[in-house]
Amino acid sequence: MDSVISLKNVNKIYGTQVKTQVLTDVCLEVERESFNSIIGASGSGKSTLLNIIGTLDRPTSGEVVINGVRTASLNKDELAALRNQTIGFVFQFHYLLPEFTALENVLMPARIKDGRVSAEVRERAEHLMSLMGIEKVKNNMAAKMSGGQQQRTSIARALINSPQIILADEPTGNLDSESTEAVYDIMRDINETLKTTFLIITHDRKITQKADRIVEIKDGRINLDIPASQAED
Ligand code: ADP
Ligand code: MG
Protein backbone atom coordinates (compact mmCIF):
# COMPACT_ATOMS: atom_id res chain seq x y z
CA MET A 1 0.00 0.00 0.00
CA ASP A 2 1.15 3.54 -0.75
CA SER A 3 0.48 5.06 2.67
CA VAL A 4 0.18 8.79 3.07
CA ILE A 5 -0.40 8.31 6.81
CA SER A 6 1.35 5.62 8.82
CA LEU A 7 0.94 5.06 12.55
CA LYS A 8 2.93 2.42 14.40
CA ASN A 9 1.98 1.45 17.94
CA VAL A 10 0.73 4.86 18.90
CA ASN A 11 -0.07 5.30 22.58
CA LYS A 12 -1.42 8.43 24.21
CA ILE A 13 -1.53 8.92 27.95
CA TYR A 14 -2.87 12.14 29.42
CA GLY A 15 -1.89 13.40 32.87
CA THR A 16 1.13 12.89 35.09
CA GLN A 17 -0.42 12.26 38.52
CA VAL A 18 -3.56 10.54 37.39
CA LYS A 19 -2.78 8.83 34.11
CA THR A 20 -5.45 8.18 31.53
CA GLN A 21 -4.55 6.02 28.57
CA VAL A 22 -6.62 7.36 25.70
CA LEU A 23 -5.00 5.50 22.78
CA THR A 24 -3.50 2.01 22.99
CA ASP A 25 -1.17 0.54 20.36
CA VAL A 26 -2.90 2.11 17.39
CA CYS A 27 -1.47 0.96 14.07
CA LEU A 28 -3.01 2.50 10.97
CA GLU A 29 -2.01 2.80 7.32
CA VAL A 30 -4.05 5.19 5.19
CA GLU A 31 -3.76 4.76 1.47
CA ARG A 32 -2.94 7.77 -0.66
CA GLU A 33 -6.01 9.24 -2.44
CA SER A 34 -8.49 7.21 -0.36
CA PHE A 35 -11.66 8.41 1.37
CA ASN A 36 -11.97 7.13 4.93
CA SER A 37 -14.30 7.59 7.85
CA ILE A 38 -13.60 7.13 11.54
CA ILE A 39 -16.49 6.25 13.79
CA GLY A 40 -16.81 5.45 17.48
CA ALA A 41 -18.63 6.44 20.66
CA SER A 42 -18.08 9.80 22.29
CA GLY A 43 -14.90 9.70 24.38
CA SER A 44 -13.42 6.74 22.51
CA GLY A 45 -10.36 8.74 21.40
CA LYS A 46 -11.25 9.79 17.84
CA SER A 47 -10.32 13.47 18.16
CA THR A 48 -7.14 12.59 20.04
CA LEU A 49 -6.19 10.28 17.20
CA LEU A 50 -6.94 12.88 14.53
CA ASN A 51 -4.99 15.57 16.41
CA ILE A 52 -1.98 13.24 16.63
CA ILE A 53 -2.21 12.45 12.92
CA GLY A 54 -2.49 16.19 12.26
CA THR A 55 0.64 16.77 14.41
CA LEU A 56 -1.34 19.14 16.62
CA ASP A 57 -0.51 16.77 19.47
CA ARG A 58 2.33 14.28 20.00
CA PRO A 59 1.90 10.63 20.96
CA THR A 60 3.29 9.42 24.29
CA SER A 61 4.99 6.64 22.33
CA GLY A 62 4.90 5.21 18.84
CA GLU A 63 5.60 6.54 15.39
CA VAL A 64 3.68 8.95 13.18
CA VAL A 65 4.78 9.23 9.54
CA ILE A 66 3.00 11.81 7.39
CA ASN A 67 3.58 11.83 3.65
CA GLY A 68 6.84 9.95 4.21
CA VAL A 69 8.10 12.30 6.95
CA ARG A 70 8.80 10.93 10.45
CA THR A 71 7.27 13.59 12.63
CA ALA A 72 9.06 12.70 15.88
CA SER A 73 12.28 14.28 14.65
CA LEU A 74 10.69 17.60 13.68
CA ASN A 75 10.75 20.70 15.87
CA LYS A 76 7.79 23.03 16.36
CA ASP A 77 8.49 25.20 13.31
CA GLU A 78 9.09 22.20 11.05
CA LEU A 79 5.83 20.65 12.23
CA ALA A 80 3.97 23.88 11.54
CA ALA A 81 5.41 23.95 8.00
CA LEU A 82 4.46 20.30 7.42
CA ARG A 83 0.91 21.04 8.59
CA ASN A 84 0.59 24.18 6.50
CA GLN A 85 1.76 22.41 3.33
CA THR A 86 0.51 18.85 3.68
CA ILE A 87 -2.63 18.86 5.80
CA GLY A 88 -5.91 20.73 5.63
CA PHE A 89 -8.16 20.74 8.69
CA VAL A 90 -11.94 20.95 8.83
CA PHE A 91 -13.52 21.11 12.27
CA GLN A 92 -17.10 20.94 13.49
CA PHE A 93 -16.94 24.64 14.24
CA HIS A 94 -15.30 26.36 11.33
CA TYR A 95 -13.11 28.94 13.12
CA LEU A 96 -13.39 31.44 10.30
CA LEU A 97 -12.20 34.95 11.05
CA PRO A 98 -15.54 36.81 11.28
CA GLU A 99 -14.18 40.24 10.33
CA PHE A 100 -12.74 39.00 7.04
CA THR A 101 -14.56 38.13 3.85
CA ALA A 102 -15.08 34.51 2.86
CA LEU A 103 -12.44 34.91 0.13
CA GLU A 104 -9.90 36.39 2.55
CA ASN A 105 -10.51 33.48 4.91
CA VAL A 106 -9.89 30.99 2.11
CA LEU A 107 -6.66 32.81 1.19
CA MET A 108 -5.33 32.89 4.77
CA PRO A 109 -3.28 29.63 4.72
CA ALA A 110 -1.69 30.71 1.41
CA ARG A 111 -0.82 34.08 2.95
CA ILE A 112 0.78 32.28 5.89
CA LYS A 113 2.72 29.98 3.57
CA ASP A 114 4.00 32.52 1.05
CA GLY A 115 3.64 35.85 2.84
CA ARG A 116 1.67 37.17 -0.11
CA VAL A 117 -1.14 36.16 -2.44
CA SER A 118 -0.38 35.91 -6.16
CA ALA A 119 -3.00 36.36 -8.87
CA GLU A 120 -2.72 32.63 -9.51
CA VAL A 121 -3.52 31.74 -5.89
CA ARG A 122 -6.43 34.16 -5.89
CA GLU A 123 -7.76 32.45 -9.01
CA ARG A 124 -7.36 29.07 -7.34
CA ALA A 125 -9.30 30.33 -4.30
CA GLU A 126 -12.11 31.52 -6.55
CA HIS A 127 -12.12 28.21 -8.40
CA LEU A 128 -12.35 26.28 -5.11
CA MET A 129 -15.16 28.55 -3.96
CA SER A 130 -17.07 27.93 -7.17
CA LEU A 131 -16.56 24.15 -6.68
CA MET A 132 -18.12 24.67 -3.24
CA GLY A 133 -20.99 26.68 -4.70
CA ILE A 134 -20.14 29.79 -2.69
CA GLU A 135 -18.63 32.05 -5.37
CA LYS A 136 -21.62 34.40 -5.09
CA VAL A 137 -20.94 35.11 -1.42
CA LYS A 138 -17.15 35.31 -1.65
CA ASN A 139 -17.12 38.99 -0.65
CA ASN A 140 -19.50 38.54 2.28
CA MET A 141 -18.15 38.85 5.78
CA ALA A 142 -17.72 35.34 7.19
CA ALA A 143 -20.02 36.19 10.09
CA LYS A 144 -22.80 37.10 7.65
CA MET A 145 -23.11 33.70 5.96
CA SER A 146 -25.26 30.67 6.74
CA GLY A 147 -23.78 27.72 8.66
CA GLY A 148 -23.57 25.65 5.49
CA GLN A 149 -21.83 28.46 3.58
CA GLN A 150 -19.37 28.95 6.43
CA GLN A 151 -18.55 25.26 6.50
CA ARG A 152 -18.03 25.21 2.72
CA THR A 153 -15.74 28.22 3.13
CA SER A 154 -13.72 26.33 5.73
CA ILE A 155 -13.36 23.38 3.32
CA ALA A 156 -12.14 25.71 0.56
CA ARG A 157 -9.68 27.16 3.09
CA ALA A 158 -8.48 23.66 3.98
CA LEU A 159 -7.80 23.03 0.28
CA ILE A 160 -6.08 26.27 -0.72
CA ASN A 161 -2.51 25.00 -0.32
CA SER A 162 -3.36 21.78 -2.23
CA PRO A 163 -2.74 19.52 0.77
CA GLN A 164 -2.24 15.79 0.29
CA ILE A 165 -4.49 15.14 3.28
CA ILE A 166 -7.71 16.57 4.67
CA LEU A 167 -8.48 15.73 8.29
CA ALA A 168 -12.05 16.48 9.31
CA ASP A 169 -13.47 16.20 12.82
CA GLU A 170 -17.26 15.93 12.62
CA PRO A 171 -17.37 18.43 9.74
CA THR A 172 -21.13 18.20 9.30
CA GLY A 173 -22.00 17.81 12.98
CA ASN A 174 -23.43 21.29 13.03
CA LEU A 175 -25.38 21.26 9.76
CA ASP A 176 -28.88 20.31 8.65
CA SER A 177 -29.23 17.17 6.56
CA GLU A 178 -29.40 19.01 3.23
CA SER A 179 -26.17 20.92 3.87
CA THR A 180 -24.61 17.73 5.21
CA GLU A 181 -25.30 15.96 1.96
CA ALA A 182 -23.98 18.89 -0.10
CA VAL A 183 -20.79 19.17 1.95
CA TYR A 184 -20.27 15.42 1.73
CA ASP A 185 -20.73 15.40 -2.06
CA ILE A 186 -18.20 18.22 -2.39
CA MET A 187 -15.63 16.36 -0.30
CA ARG A 188 -16.08 13.20 -2.34
CA ASP A 189 -15.79 15.23 -5.53
CA ILE A 190 -12.56 16.86 -4.30
CA ASN A 191 -11.24 13.40 -3.41
CA GLU A 192 -11.91 12.19 -6.95
CA THR A 193 -10.79 15.25 -8.90
CA LEU A 194 -7.87 16.56 -6.81
CA LYS A 195 -6.86 13.12 -5.40
CA THR A 196 -6.86 14.46 -1.86
CA THR A 197 -6.84 11.83 0.87
CA PHE A 198 -9.71 12.26 3.35
CA LEU A 199 -9.94 11.08 6.94
CA ILE A 200 -13.29 12.11 8.39
CA ILE A 201 -14.60 11.56 11.89
CA THR A 202 -18.35 11.36 11.60
CA HIS A 203 -21.53 9.91 12.99
CA ASP A 204 -23.27 10.53 9.72
CA ARG A 205 -24.36 7.46 7.80
CA LYS A 206 -24.43 9.39 4.54
CA ILE A 207 -20.69 9.78 4.84
CA THR A 208 -19.81 6.36 6.22
CA GLN A 209 -21.89 4.54 3.62
CA LYS A 210 -20.01 6.02 0.71
CA ALA A 211 -16.51 6.02 2.21
CA ASP A 212 -13.90 3.57 0.93
CA ARG A 213 -13.21 2.40 4.42
CA ILE A 214 -14.61 2.62 7.94
CA VAL A 215 -12.37 2.49 10.99
CA GLU A 216 -14.07 2.14 14.35
CA ILE A 217 -12.31 3.30 17.51
CA LYS A 218 -13.40 1.74 20.77
CA ASP A 219 -11.77 2.58 24.10
CA GLY A 220 -8.71 3.93 22.31
CA ARG A 221 -8.15 0.89 20.10
CA ILE A 222 -9.06 0.05 16.56
CA ASN A 223 -12.06 -2.20 17.01
CA LEU A 224 -13.13 -2.62 13.40
CA ASP A 225 -11.50 -1.77 10.08
CA ILE A 226 -13.49 -2.64 7.00
CA PRO A 227 -14.25 -1.56 3.46
CA ALA A 228 -17.43 0.51 3.65
CA SER A 229 -19.25 -1.84 1.29
CA GLN A 230 -19.16 -4.49 4.02
CA ALA A 231 -20.64 -2.28 6.71
CA GLU A 232 -23.97 -3.48 8.03
CA ASP A 233 -26.90 -1.27 8.90
P1 ADP B 1 -13.80 11.49 21.01
O2 ADP B 1 -13.32 12.48 20.00
O3 ADP B 1 -13.87 10.08 20.48
O4 ADP B 1 -15.09 11.88 21.63
P5 ADP B 1 -11.51 12.36 22.56
O6 ADP B 1 -10.32 11.97 21.78
O7 ADP B 1 -11.91 13.79 22.51
O8 ADP B 1 -12.73 11.41 22.19
O9 ADP B 1 -11.28 11.99 24.08
C10 ADP B 1 -10.92 10.68 24.49
C11 ADP B 1 -10.69 10.67 25.98
O12 ADP B 1 -9.53 11.43 26.29
C13 ADP B 1 -11.83 11.23 26.78
O14 ADP B 1 -12.01 10.45 27.92
C15 ADP B 1 -11.34 12.61 27.15
O16 ADP B 1 -11.90 13.02 28.35
C17 ADP B 1 -9.85 12.40 27.27
N18 ADP B 1 -9.07 13.61 26.95
C19 ADP B 1 -9.10 14.27 25.76
N20 ADP B 1 -8.27 15.32 25.77
C21 ADP B 1 -7.70 15.33 27.00
C22 ADP B 1 -6.73 16.18 27.67
N23 ADP B 1 -6.17 17.23 27.03
N24 ADP B 1 -6.39 15.86 28.92
C25 ADP B 1 -6.92 14.80 29.54
N26 ADP B 1 -7.82 13.97 29.01
C27 ADP B 1 -8.21 14.23 27.75
MG1 MG C 1 -14.21 14.23 19.28
Tell me the pLDDT tens digit for each residue of 99-119.
999 999 999 999 998 999 999
Output 75-84 pairs: Cβ under 8 A, ≥24 positions apart: 79/55, 82/55, 83/54, 83/55, 83/56, 84/109, 84/112, 84/113, 84/161
Question: 140 burial class (0-12, 13-18, 19+ CB within 10 angstroms)?
Answer: middle
pLDDT at 232 over 60: no
Q: Say yes or no: CB of residue 46 within 6 Å of ligand 1.
A: yes
Which one is predicted more confidently, 122 or 190? 122
Q: What is the pLDDT, as a whole number, of residue 231?
A: 62
Tell me which ligand sits closest to the C-alpha of residue 168: 2
Dist. CA 25–CA 60, nearest whole Å: 11
Q: What is the pLDDT, as a whole number, of residue 1?
A: 86
> Three-class SS of residue 143?
helix
Distance 221 CA to ligand 1 centre (A): 13
Residue 61: phi and psi, rounded to 5, are -150, 165
Name which residue sits closest to atom 16 of ligand 1, judged by CA: 43
Mean per-residue pLDDT, 42-59: 96
CA dihedral (116, 81, 53, 106) in degrees, to 10, reads 0
3-38 confidence digits (pLDDT tens): 999 999 999 999 989 999 999 999 999 999 999 999
Q: pTM for the full model?
A: 0.91
Q: What is the pLDDT, as a whole number, of residue 122?
A: 97
Express as a percent the part of the chain with pLDDT over 90.
73
Residue type, 100: F
* Lowest model confidence (mean pLDDT) among 109-113, 169-173, 212-216: 169-173
pLDDT at 233 over 70: no
Index of the ligand 1 atom closest to the CA of residue 48:
6
DSSP for 105-118 reads HHHHHHHHHHSS--
Which one is predicted more confidently, 194 or 173? 194
Name which residue sits closest to atom 13 of ligand 1, judged by CA: 43
CA dihedral (193, 195, 196, 199) in degrees, to 10, reads 100
Q: Say yes or no: CB of residue 16 within 6 Å of ligand 1.
A: no
117-162 confidence digits (pLDDT tens): 999 999 999 999 998 889 999 999 999 999 889 989 999 999 998 8
**Contact in structure between 198 and 36 (CB atoms under 8 Å):** yes
Mean per-residue pLDDT, 207-229: 91
Distance 21 CA to ligand 1 centre (A): 10
Q: What is the pLDDT, as a whole number, of residue 230?
A: 66
